[in-house]
Structures are given as structure tokens and as C-alpha cells.
Structure 1
Amino acid sequence: MTEPYRSTPIFDEATIPAALRAEHRTKSGVWGLIKVIEGELNLTDVDPHVQKVLSPRNPGLVEPEQTHFVTPLGKVRMQVDFYTEPPEP
């Protein structure tokens, strides 16, 4: 099983950084796995425009150079793991 090379701290609805709430992208060769520990989070992919509701049972995979942003849906706790190859779900 692939292990992340880096993980963010655990954020809640008040501490999710502005950079994650605004359009941003992963670097070339980097996959992000958004894990919701509690609550729900909206993941919006910009092009093509797709919205997904993430929950503890439904993490979000962000592919390399994919422009996206997140929006908390009420109380939430989340973390992002970063990989150099696609992680296993």
C-alpha cells in the first residue's frame, strides 16, 4: 500500500486555510487524498466543473495539476495526504 509523503494538520471548519478554500492545484506528479474525519466537505473540481460531497466514507482524490477548492458543509474535520503515485482507496 502506498504511504503519503506528507500530510496536513487536521483542520476544522474554522481553521481550513484560505488557500484550500480558493482555487488551487496540486503540483505535477502529486496526488492529494482529502480525508474527512467528521462531517461533510464539498470538493469542487474547476475544469470540468464537478462538485462532490466528501464524508468519512467518501474521501476525495485530487489528481496532479487538477484545479479545485473545498467548502465546509457545517462542522467538519479534515486532512489532506499527499502521494507521488495514485493512492489506493
Structure 2
Amino acid sequence: MVFEMKILPADAVSYKKTSEFTALSVPSKLLHAHRTKSGVWGKIVVLEGALTYRILEPTVEEVLLSPDRFGVIEPTVKHEVMPHDDCRFYVEFYRQKIT
């Protein structure tokens, strides 16, 4: 099965970015099922190494992220991450632009 990464809406605007995390510094809440708020998208950006991104609903999907492949988090969709030992990453949050 080929996994096709979701895409950010064309009118999405970045409003917040986490600090950089490693496998040792990642907050434990990111390692377990959690979700963004309604209307909030996320972009997982891997700077170094690799990270496994698991989308847990409506069906389980798993994808390996790398510096060449980022992950998109859809609003309110349950997910979790598993950074590999050599991983360095951050999450950037987006909202759709209000017109």
C-alpha cells in the first residue's frame, strides 16, 4: 500500500513553531496518541535522521519522515510520532487564513 501524505490547505498560514526535539528531548505526549485542535494543521519537519509518523484514525497509516519528506497533521486527527535515535525535528502549526 502506498501512503500519500496529506497536504496543507493553500491558504494555511504558519502561526507557531516548537523548539527542535531529538529522540531524548521529545515531550512524552508527542509519543502517544494526541490530536491538534479544530482548525489547526501541523507540519512535522525532520532536520536530521528519521521519524516514524503514525496517523491513528480513521485507519492506521504509518510513514517514515526524513529531511526530504515532511509530515502533515490534519486537524483533530489522532496521531503519534516515534523519532529514531539520530532524529532532530520540529513541528510548525498552521491555521487557514481568515478572509
- The alignment's TM-score, normalised by the length of structure 1, stands at 0.91
1:42 aligned to which of 42, 52, 55: 52
**Would you say 1:61 and 2:72 are equivalent positions?**
yes
Equivalent of residue 25 in structure 1, options 35, 43, 60: 35
Aligned to 1:5: 15
State the SS of the aligned residue for 2:86.
strand
Runs of 5+ unmatched residues, structure 1? none
Amino acid at match of 1:54: L
Runs (4+) of structure 1 exceeding 3 A deviation are none
1:72 is matched with: 83
Q: Distance in 1 between matches of 2:18 and 2:53?
A: 17
Counterpart contact for 2:48–2:88, Cα < 8 Å: yes
Runs of 5+ unmatched residues, structure 2: 1-10
What TM-score do the two structures reach when normalised by structure 2? 0.82
**Aligned-partner SS, 1:81:** strand
The aligned amino acid for 2:73 is V
Q: What is the RMSD of the two structures over their aligned residues, measured on CA atoms? A: 1.5
**Separation in 1 of the partners of 2:95 and 2:14?**
8
Q: Which has the higher strand share?
A: 1
TM-superposition CA deviations, 1:14-73 (whole Å, max 9, x none): 001001001000100000000000000000000110001000110000000010000012
Q: Which amino acid aligns with 1:53?
A: L
Please state how far the C-alpha of 1:4 moved relative to its aligned partner.
Answer: 1.4
